[in-house]
Amino acid sequence: MVKGIEIRTSPHLKRALNVQQIMRSVVYAMLPICAFAIWQFGLSAALLLATTTGAAVATEAWFSRLRGAGNTVADWSAVITGILLGLTLPPGFPLWMAAVAAFVGIGLGKALFGGLGYNVMNPALIGRAFVQAAFPVAITTWTPAFAPSRFVELIPTTLTAPFMRPESVTDWIAGLGVDSWTGATPLAMQKFQHVETPAWDTFAGLVSGSAGETSALLILVCGLWLAWRGCLDWRIPASVLAGAALTALPFWLVDPGLYPSPWFVLSSGGLMLAAWFMASDMVASPVTPWGAIIYGVFIGALTVIIRLFGGLVEGVMYAILLGNAAGPLISAWTQPRVYGAVKKARAKS
């Protein structure tokens, strides 16, 4: 028998992406960033990403079993949290501390609120904020990128035992023969020494920093692919970057020797990664078009304010967490008016 052909007129409905497809797309978009981090920092970065991802998945499975929610690991959200967390940590971060960060991120930032779809803040940033407060020295210990021995030996602090003093990396760095290494990231050098790293170095990823935050160019390409796939609202990263650039511009125009240029602000630190992969969290961000723009501008502007006038060299983590907290209020303020509806006061009059 010949199968019949069904003919219909337009418009034709297209099947929407489900949660698993969106999450997998985010993971695929982060794989090039992970590969660049491993190429840049070597075995320590690979172990760091494996530890945070494995600990996040194990924690997700454990909490799912406790509350009888079935296998929630299959939605890939825990994998995203683990990868994002690893990308925001220094490449030589002790592995046991990284596992603690993943446990806190999933447990406190996600499972406590009921799992995927109920978290009020980004779980990866909850985990990083915890270790920022608990282990401030370890999380601000940086190592040079492209060390010659990065694929044959680990950064000394990687395998530090729990509650033991990390082995100093000073002798290790000295043994690499890196004469120009200063021990500071581009953000720290600009903030405390007023030395701005060349724009191409920060944009291409030829600098030190957190494992996956160095190459703004690669992150931008991966983020644009996600936006093309429809897996994020492009208004959020665009507004974050615009808010940061517009906030930095007047300070730079007044005193370019003291304040960083907008280009440096956009290409340095974790702003690019945060704008495309963290601020755009579908659960913790506003759902209205104008709300997404206000939310993004708020995060970008607050990041620059913290960088310029705060005690920390980087402020994007706290800016996003505060933006997540304000997200429901922003959504409520920017709800579109129902067509034909009138305000109660006008109706009463």
Cβ(89)–Cβ(135) below 8 Å? no
pLDDT at 12: 53
pLDDT at 181: 47
Count how many Cα atoms sit within 13 Å of the Cα of residue 185 in the half-sphere of its side chain: 24
pLDDT at 153: 87
Cα angle 329-335-340, degrees, rounded to a multiple of 5: 155
CA-to-CA distance for 165 and 153, rounded, in angstroms? Answer: 20
Count how many Cα atoms sit within 13 Å of the Cα of residue 348 in the half-sphere of its side chain: 3
pTM: 0.87
Q: Provide the residue type at 321 as one letter.
A: L
pLDDT at 180: 43
pLDDT digits (tens, 9 = 90+) for 245-282: 999 999 999 999 899 999 999 999 899 999 999 998 88
CA-to-CA distance for 108 and 130, rounded, in angstroms? Answer: 10
DSSP letters of 170-230? HHHHHHHT-TT--S--HHHHHHHH--PPPHHHHHHT-S-SSTTSS-HHHHHHHHHHHHHHT
Residues of the chain with pLDDT under 50: 10, 179-182
Cβ(281)–Cβ(124) below 8 Å? no
**Tokens read off for 37:** 């981090």
